[in-house]
Amino acid sequence: MPILPPGINETDFSAALGQFAETVGTNWVFTSDEDVALYRDAYSPFWGSDEEKLASAAVAPESVEEVQQIVRIANRYRIPLYPISTGKNYGYGGSAPVHSGSVVVDLKRMNRVLEIDERNATCLVEPGVSYFDLYNAIQEKGAKLWIDCPDPGWGSPIGNALDHGLGYTIGHFRDHFGSHCGMEVVLPNGEVLRTGPGGVPGSKTWQQYQYAFGPQLDGIFSQSNFGIVTKMGFWLAPEPEAFREDTVAVYNHDDLIPLVDVTSYLTNSSISNGLPGLGSPLLQAIGTSWGGPDSDPEHIALLQTSDRPALERYGREKNIPYWTCNIKTYGPKEVIDAQWAHAREKFASSIPGATFTEGEKLEFPLTYEQGEEYQQGRIAGGRVDFGIPNLSIFQIISRTPWNPNPKFGHYYFSPIIPKTGEAIFEASRVFTEAHDQLGLPRPPQGITSLPALYYQRSAMLLMALQVTRNIEVDQKNRSAFKELVKIAAEHGWGEYRTPPAFQDDVMNAYSFGNNALRRFNETIKDAIDPNGIISPGKSGIWPKNMRGA
């Protein structure tokens, strides 16, 4: 038995484990070192240190009734629980608990796709269903529907949505929590609650209408510890007829401002409904072939200077754009051709000198194998553009010029910033200075990170800090991360998601009104979970008996 939950004696813990086993069967209570080790966060920034967050045991129920019974037993013995869906939240915590000694409630056996409604383009799933499972269920049914999945397809639509995960396809489907519709939750007292129209017994519209009568509660069950979600509905995308991906290239530094503005206009007008992708061939040239034989010494020398006009001139002469943006559009073939024509005109009239490259055009359906063909030469993106789950990202995940062969994972610093060129420049300046100040490796391309534009009206920076499994280096990186959170907050930027190691810091950065947000969450927590058994500390929300400990 590796560790005990804090404050729980061995007798009570053994009694609780015994009752868990009576509930789910002895095969589904995991207590051996070898089994419990698989609930460690393989990307833990604490790996090997005394501070590493570790589970004491795990229990894997198969039904809602078993989850209810586990919650009742946990209340009886004050056992902290840490529910996971499939536990694949790497980069943001994996399956390890926030509070060491918690018992992981592994929901992987609850893996039924309960409903796929092609006419209304909805589904209802359990937490152990992976993106692969849902994709397969849709294929087997022959439904003309798409899922929207993140890069690794082994995760759970429920787990990903609850942690505000994101994907790659069409418009609002990329926001996985935003495109959910209805949930079933086991509350900390063991009762079962259904949100939205699911509150009506025998509801016929649970997956069709997002609201209910009275307050919409769904949001309080995301990134929270107010219950265990056991079912969730999602809206799916009807399979589009066609797709095209085109690129606009601009050659001046300040062209980024109109480039982002026009992209936002196209997105917000639904003229382009795919995920736009910003790039900088001129700046990234040095990052992708630093010192290599293909790098032009003149280019490298220019990148070392602050002579921006000279760099712009070099780029124009060599036809290397300062910025690019990939514009992806899904829809009927004739319609998306017209949409691109309009988009092109908008860019051309707003940015003198912009050039255009017409890229890939595809018609659907794609077979899995055709998706694979599209993937060739791509690591990130690719099949996920069409809702086809895969694991390709693990070939290169978080590999960078200054860490070409990462072995131990990473974790993300991911603030949300305004979706404007000015904000991107400011964030780049602020975080480049912060990298220098904190002794972090400075990004060679001179811009900390180009934002991802998953959301329609905001931008997200994604900066990966490497896990080294060197205790001193990891400690230094954790301190740096905490400083980055503070620096971001000083500029009005908050993180959208963070690993357990930093959830208190991030919640504390949302400090408006003397931390009114955190205190309100704590008020709810104390009211509905007085014993503090569900995921204590998740998102910086601690139960009364653990606050300040």
Partner 1 sequence: MANRREFLQMGIAASALPISTGLMLPNKSSTAENISPSIPIYRTIFDNRYAVARIFAKDIENAGGKTYGIDGDVTNLWYHDLHHRWKKGPVAIAGLTDANALFCLEQLAWSACQMHLIYCAEHKPTDGSRKLVESFPESSFLAAEKIMHYPKREAVALPPYSSLSTDDINSLVSWVIAPTKRT
DSSP 123-178: EEE-TT--HHHHHHHHHHHT--EE----SBTTS-HHHHHHTT-B-SSSGGGGBTTT
Q: At what angle do helices 10-24 and 64-77 cross, to 10 degrees?
A: 170
Binding mask 322-361 for partner 1 (x = CB under 8 A): ----------------------------------------
Instruction: Provide the β-strand partners of residue 418.
Output: 458
Terminal-residue alpha carbon distance, the chain: 24
Q: Decide: is 380 part of the binding site for partner 1 (CB under 8 A).
A: no
Q: Decide: is 211 part of the binding site for partner 1 (CB under 8 A).
A: no
- Single out the catalytic residue among 77, 92, 314, 455: 92
Contact with partner 1 (CB under 8 A) among 341, 391, 517, 549: 391
The reply to whether 368 belongs to the active site is no
Contact with partner 1 (CB under 8 A) among 51, 296, 372, 522: 372
Residues 6+ apart with CB under 8 A from 332: 240, 241, 242
Q: Which two tokens stand for residue 266?
A: 């196209």
**Nearer CB in complex with partner 1: 42/341:** 42
The reply to whether 244 belongs to the active site is no
**Nearer CB in complex with partner 1: 86/445:** 86
Q: Decide: is 23 part of the binding site for partner 1 (CB under 8 A).
A: no
Q: Which of 345, 383, 359 is nearest to 131 (CA)?
A: 383
State the minimum distance, in angstroms, from the CB of residue 394 to partner 1. Answer: 5
Torsion sign across C-alpha atoms 279, 283, 287, 293: positive
State the minimum distance, in angstroms, from the CB of residue 40 to partner 1. Answer: 6
**Nearer CB in complex with partner 1: 46/496:** 46
Q: Return the residue matching tokens 């927590």.
A: 525
State the minimum distance, in angstroms, from the CB of residue 490 to partner 1. Answer: 37
Question: Using CB under 8 A, which of the segments 65-73, 83-91, 175-183, 413-421 binds partner 1?
Answer: 83-91
Q: Decide: is 368 part of the binding site for partner 1 (CB under 8 A).
A: yes
Q: Which of 323, 335, 317, 466 is nearest to 404 (CA)?
A: 466
Binding mask 469-498 for partner 1 (x = CB under 8 A): x-----------------------------
Cα–Cα distance for residue pair 462/361, rounded to 1 Å: 29
Contact with partner 1 (CB under 8 A) among 3, 15, 21, 38: 38
Binding mask 103-142 for partner 1 (x = CB under 8 A): -----x-----------------------x----------
Question: Using CB under 8 A, which of the segments 305-313, 346-354, 390-398, 437-445 binds partner 1?
Answer: 390-398
Q: Cα 411 from chain centroid?
A: 11
Coil, helix or strand at residue 81: strand
- Single out the catalytic residue among 174, 383, 478, 497: 497
Q: Decide: is 34 part of the binding site for partner 1 (CB under 8 A).
A: yes
Q: Decide: is 1 part of the binding site for partner 1 (CB under 8 A).
A: no
Cα–Cα distance for residue pair 436/446, rounded to 1 Å: 12
Cα–Cα distance for residue pair 432/442, rounded to 1 Å: 7
Runs of H (alpha helix) within 8-78 = 10-24, 33-37, 64-77
Q: Which of 75, 74, 163, 95 is nearest to 539 (CA)?
A: 163
Q: Decide: is 410 part of the binding site for partner 1 (CB under 8 A).
A: no
**Nearer CB in complex with partner 1: 283/397:** 397
Answer for the pair 39, 89: CB distance below 8 angstroms, yes or no.
Answer: no
Residue 458: other Cβ atoms inside 10 A:
15
The reply to whether 92 belongs to the active site is yes
Q: Decide: is 154 part of the binding site for partner 1 (CB under 8 A).
A: yes
Q: Decide: is 42 part of the binding site for partner 1 (CB under 8 A).
A: yes
**Nearer CB in complex with partner 1: 42/310:** 42
Under the rule (CB under 8 A), what is the footprint of partner 1? 27, 32-35, 37-38, 40, 42, 86-88, 108, 132, 153-154, 368, 372, 390-392, 394-395, 397, 404-405, 407, 469
Active site amino acids = 92, 496-497
